[in-house]
Amino acid sequence: MTNKALAKIFKALGDETRLEIVRMLAGKERCVCAFLNSFAMSQPAISNHLRVLREAEVVIDKREGRWIFYRLNPTAFQAVEALCELVLPVGEPERIDPTTEPCACPKGTEKSA
């Protein structure tokens, strides 16, 4: 998954209401109506939050007659998990030597005035 796609996922998850929607969808499929009792907001507002999650591919929607059911997209969470595994080192992180690696730090070659 690209950095742009991951950033879109994190941006979508960066809202308390959307995080709660994600929690409510864990292991379930729900329609918009199922969220109305949990949030002090209108059905269009909840639909807007679901739209943001859908556009970020955090949720998948499926139409059945007049109902639209939402569920979590495992691919999005697998991508987040893969990123976490990449950035969370096992043991101590490797220190990069600024004298041998490309770095913007001064390398001690400047003369002091």
Q: Beta strand pairing status for 30-31 and 59-64?
A: unpaired
d(CA 94, CA 99): 15
Domains of the chain: 3-83 (1.10.10.10)
- Mean of pLDDT over the chain: 89
DSSP secondary structure code for residue 111 in this structure? P
pLDDT at 24 over 60: yes
For position 95, what pLDDT does the model report? 82
- Tell me how crowded residue 111 is: count the other CB atoms within 10 A of its CB: 4
Q: What is the pLDDT of residues 61-101, one digit of tens each?
A: 999 999 999 999 999 999 999 999 888 877 787 888 877 87
For position 91, what pLDDT does the model report? 79
Q: Report the side by side order of strands in the sheet with 30-31.
A: 30-31, 67-72, 59-64
For position 64, what pLDDT does the model report? 93
Contacts of 85 (CB under 8 A, 6+ apart): none
For position 113, what pLDDT does the model report? 44
